[in-house]
């Protein structure tokens, strides 16, 4: 039986900054907005949360704030990846300690392990911490692609329960579903193709766009979960320009610009991410208008 709390639209939350520091009040308000908007879960300190430029203390603090704010109203899937297995275990262990419901662990970036190395990485996490773990496959960022064959091996481990698939490759989703079994949780990590991913048997989407449009994204995903494909297609058409616009500059700078335009947080990002380019702001605003946000 697929773990029932790992489904639907789950925002990959931004981490708000003000004057170079975490803006805790803004983060709490963003979490409250997501829950009020009907999202099905929360992912703090993922890629969109700029985890690469957070200190370990900041990373842990954001997870703690998310769990504390959610108060069980939405499951928290804490970002906990590293290209060091020992550090990933530390972050997953912390997520469990503070009450997160699961962890999202990206494939180890930069050092480009073999498929056997990838298996051993996740197997070590599985052995070290009793917490559901989602594998995060994002070859465009990590420079490594975990194969369906390796995932089928991992699916046999009790704590490795599913995937966030940001490849945009829908064919592999069907093969993965068949290879990993009916208990394997399949979440898209690519907003524009999430409609197709759901039709291929997916269970939800870890979404960037939901930061900006939680209600619309939740309505879209609820239609998918009910098999109401005509309604889902209507929302896909309203949101698809926004999906694309939020990646017209290095993420999450366009998302933070959109949130700042809505008065929800500052647009501040941390280097090497630069502020959203002026040239793309009109297209982001037009996409927000099309989605009914402004």
What domains sit in the chain, N to C, each tagged with a CATH number?
8-237 (3.20.20.70)
Render pLDDT for 235-258 as a digit per residue (tens, 0 to 9).
Answer: 999 999 999 999 999 999 999 999
Reading the block at residue 161, the tokens are: 């329960």
**Considering the chain, what percentage of its residues have pLDDT values greater than 70?**
99
Strands (E), the chain: 8-11, 17-18, 21-22, 77-79, 102-106, 133-137, 160-165, 185-188, 204-207
48, 13 contact by CB (below 8 A)? yes
- The pLDDT assigned to 1 comes to 46
The whole-angstrom separation of Cα 158 and Cα 133 is 9
On whether the pTM is more than 0.95, the answer is yes
Active site residues: 136, 164
Inter-CA distances, 265 with 188, 258, 269, Å:
26, 9, 11
DSSP states of 149-203 as a string?
Answer: HHHHHHTTSTTEEEEEE-S--HHHHHHHHHHH-TT-EEEES-GGGHHHHHHTT--
Does the pLDDT at position 2 exceed 70? Answer: no
């Amino acid at each position: 039986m697929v773990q029932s709390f790992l489904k639907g639209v789950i925002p990959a939350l931004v981490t708000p900054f003000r004057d170079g520091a975490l803006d805790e009040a803004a983060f709490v308000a963003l979490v409250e907005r997501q829950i009020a908007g009907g999202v099905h879960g929360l992912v703090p300190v993922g890629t969109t949360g700029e985890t690469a430029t957070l200190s370990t203390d900041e990373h842990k603090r954001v997870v703690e704030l998310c769990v504390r704010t959610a108060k069980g109203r939405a499951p928290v899937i804490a970002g906990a990846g590293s290209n060091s297995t020992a550090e990933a275990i530390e972050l997953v262990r912390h997520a469990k300690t503070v009450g997160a419901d699961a962890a999202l662990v990206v494939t180890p970036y930069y050092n480009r392990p073999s498929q056997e190395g990838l298996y051993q990485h996740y197997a070590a996490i599985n052995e070290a911490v009793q917490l559901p773990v989602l594998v995060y496959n994002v070859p465009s960022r990590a420079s490594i692609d975990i194969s369906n064959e390796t995932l089928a091996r991992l699916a046999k481990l009790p704590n490795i329960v599913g995937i966030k698939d940001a490849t945009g490759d829908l064919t592999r989703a069907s093969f993965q579903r068949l290879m990993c079994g009916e208990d394997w949780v399949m979440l898209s990590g690519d907003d524009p193709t999430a409609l197709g991913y759901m039709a291929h048997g997916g269970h939800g989407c870890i979404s960037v766009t939901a930061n900006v449009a939680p209600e619309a994204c939740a309505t879209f995903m609820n239609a998918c979960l009910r098999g109401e494909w005509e309604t889902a297609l209507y929302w896909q058409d309203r949101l698809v320009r926004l999906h694309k616009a939020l990646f017209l500059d290095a993420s999450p700078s366009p998302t933070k610009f959109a949130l700042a335009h809505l008065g929800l947080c500052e647009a501040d990002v941390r280097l090497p991410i630069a502020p959203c380019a002026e040239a793309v702001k009109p297209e982001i605003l037009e996409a927000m208008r099309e989605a009914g946000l402004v």
